[in-house]
Amino acid sequence: MKVDLEKTLVVAVSATALFDMSEADDVFQEAFKENPETAVENYRAYMLKREEDDLADGTAMPLVSALLGLNQYKKQGEVPIVEVVVMSRNSPETGVVVFNNIRSRGLNISRHAFTGGESVVPYLEAYDVDLFLTTNVRDAQKVIDAKSCASAIVQKPPHTSNIEEGQVRLAFDGDAVLFDDSSEIVFKAQGLKGFFDHEDAHQDVPMPEGPYAQLLRSISQLQSRLPFNVKSSPVRIAIVTARSAPAEMRVIKTLRTWGVYVDEVFFLGGLDKSKILKAFRPHIFFEDQDLHLEEAAKYVPSGKVPYKSESEIHKYL
């Protein structure tokens, strides 16, 4: 029977984003340095001995657990509200430890893609993926360039974390994440005054969509399936942006044009984003700039959104 996931939020997550598999990766990299021809076999032997090991949580685990919890609100006979797909470059054989840990945690994940060393990116469309979380920089870049779905490179798990239970909390940067990078390019090229003048003059012109615009719409659709009004929804969305007046009105008017509801917006005017994020306690924060990511990732799960390879912004970085 064919399953229609049009009304389901589909999140694909790499095994290395869901679980902390850094030790296994180090083993493979070391084996490859010593002898590329025997590296795969040595890695296979290592993984087979550790099939019953308990893996530590990866950066994406709190988000995945919280999203799957939303399925408790699914009406009988309906498709899931959220579907999670685990994707890995491991072979099915070396991925047994991942399957075992998914089961031991009671995660309701039934779809997987284990590609035996090949990139998982070509299979995202087949799984109807809306968001792809990975630790592989090249894979995330391919997805952003192809505009196939939202994607982020998850950072290392935070040192400390105090995530809200019973909710799903998502925090987004604005420019180059929800919106395209055209305004950020204006800032890089013309400075702060030029940016303010441009945004104030264009406040009635909706900003072009960025790589996460469609995901925001999908989350809005998800909220419509929950038995709550928007203000009491277990899904809470925040925009945390370095913008400030007079560049704030264009953000608000663009969201109105898109027809999406955002619970909280923080216009920081250059203040440290990590302090706001510690207070908001998101399950994940999506950001394009390393300057903000490095500090934020110490306190909250975070993902880097790559710029498109052909973006003009690269000449300013």
Residue with tokens 């779809």, as numbered in its chain: 111
Tokens linked to 92: 């099915």
Phi, psi of 17 (to 5 degrees): -90, -35
Decide if 11 contacts 128 (C-beta within 8 A).
no
Q: List Cα–Cα distances, 167 to 63, 88, 125, 206, 262, in angstroms.
A: 10, 28, 28, 30, 15
Mind listing the pLDDT tens digit of every residue in the chain (317 residues)?
567 788 899 999 999 999 998 888 888 888 788 888 887 888 888 888 889 999 999 999 999 999 999 999 998 888 999 999 999 998 888 889 999 999 999 999 999 999 988 999 999 999 999 999 999 999 999 999 999 999 999 999 998 777 777 899 999 999 999 999 999 999 999 999 999 999 999 999 999 999 999 999 999 889 889 988 877 899 999 999 999 999 999 999 999 999 999 999 999 998 999 999 999 999 999 999 999 999 999 999 999 999 999 999 999 88
The pTM score is 0.94
Measure the CA–CA gap between 289 and 223, rounded to whole angstroms. 29
Measure the CA–CA gap between 311 and 36, rounded to whole angstroms. 35
> Letter for the amino acid at 139?
D
According to DSSP, residue 241 is labeled: E
Write down all domains in the chain, each with its CATH number in brackets.
9-154 (3.40.50.1000), 168-316 (3.40.50.1000)
186, containing H or E segment: helix 182-201
Tell me how far apart the 2 most distant CA atoms of the chain are, in Å. 63
Tokens linked to 67: 């999203």
Q: List Cα–Cα distances, 22 to 18, 28, 153, 178, 271, in angstroms.
A: 12, 10, 15, 30, 33
Tokens linked to 4: 């229609």
Is 173 an annotated catalytic residue?
yes
Catalytic position from the list 173, 180, 181, 288: 173
